[in-house]
């Protein structure tokens, strides 16, 4: 049975909090190399933001906001991670060898860009994909 209640406070808070959570998760994702954080915890946080949306609204609304096939997101994430490893093969280096280089970027200044970020992006996407697939599947089944 579905009861229609007035969730105005929850929904309004969610609209603000979701952005804060997503921003914090992205911060944690990028901070992973030097401080605690990384792809796994970042992915979990991003999916927790989506779950907050799910709690405040409902499955259909969230699907309209984020029309993502999460199973494909898992596959894309895997392509990122494995692709980073396979990339090393083309440079005649052992599988999963990473490379980094310092660049002078306009906004960030002297920054090191590392291929491990690509690997972590894969992890990040897989974690979001898996978490959301689990929650959506359980939520939809009756």
Partner 1 sequence: MNNFVILPILIPLLTGIFLIFLARKVNAQRVVSLISAIISIVIAFSLVIEVKTDGIQVLQASNWAAPFGISIVADMLSALLVLVTSIIVFTVLIYSFKHIDADREKFFYYSLVQFLIVGVNGAFLTGDIFNLFVFFEVMLMSSYVLLVIGGTKIQLRETIKYLLVNVIASALFVVAVALLYSVVGTLNIADISQRIAEIEQPGIITVIAILFLIVFGLKGAIFPLYVWMPGSYYAPPIPILALFGALLTKVGIYSILRTFTTLFYHQPEYTHSIMMYLAILTIIFGCIGVMAYMDVKKIIIYNIVVAIGVILFGISVMNTEAIAGSVMYTLHDMLIKSALFLLIGIMIAKTGTSNIKRMGGLIHQSPLLGWLFFIAAISLAGVPPFSGFAGKLMIIQGAFEGGHYAGGLIVLFSSLIVLYSVMRIFIFAFWGEKKEYNLATEQKKDNRFLMLPIGILIAVSIAYGIGTEAVYTYVSDAVQVLMNPSDYIQAVLKEG
| Residues engaged in binding partner 1 (CB under 8 A) | 71-72, 74-75, 78-79, 82, 85-86, 88-89, 93-98
The least distance separating partner 1 from the CB of residue 79, rounded to whole angstroms, comes to: 6
Residue 104: which H helix or E strand, with range? strand 100-105
CA distance 119 to 117: 5
Indicate the residue among 54 and 80 with the shorter CB distance to partner 1.
80
User: At its nearest, how many Å lie between partner 1 and the CB of residue 23?
Assistant: 30
Pick the closer one to partner 1 by CB: 13 or 75. Answer: 75
133-137 long-range CB contacts below 8 Å, 24 or more apart?
133/70, 133/71, 133/74, 135/47, 135/51, 135/54, 136/59, 136/70
Q: Rank residues 21 and 43 by Cβ distance to partner 1 and give the closer one.
A: 43
Tell me how far, at minimum, the Cβ of 121 lies from partner 1, in Å: 15
Min CB(127)–partner 1 separation in Å? 16
Helix (H) or strand (E) segment spanning residue 20: helix 8-31
Contact 32, 38 (CB under 8 A): yes
CA 27 from chain centre, in angstroms, equals: 11
Of 90 and 108, CB closest to partner 1 = 90
């Amino acid at each position: 049975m579905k009861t229609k209640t007035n969730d105005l406070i929850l929904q309004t808070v969610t609209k603000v909090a979701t952005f804060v959570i997503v921003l914090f998760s992205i911060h944690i994702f990028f901070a992973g190399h030097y401080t605690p954080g990384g792809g796994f915890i970042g992915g979990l946080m991003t999916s927790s933001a989506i779950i907050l949306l799910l709690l405040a609204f409902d499955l259909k609304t969230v699907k309209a906001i984020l029309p993502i096939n999460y199973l494909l997101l898992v596959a894309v994430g895997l392509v990122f991670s494995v692709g980073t490893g396979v990339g090393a093969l083309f440079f005649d280096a052992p599988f999963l060898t990473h490379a980094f280089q310092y660049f002078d970027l306009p906004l960030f200044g002297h920054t090191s860009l590392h291929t491990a970020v690509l690997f972590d992006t894969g992890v990040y996407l897989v974690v979001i994909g898996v978490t959301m697939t689990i929650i959506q599947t359980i939520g939809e089944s009756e």
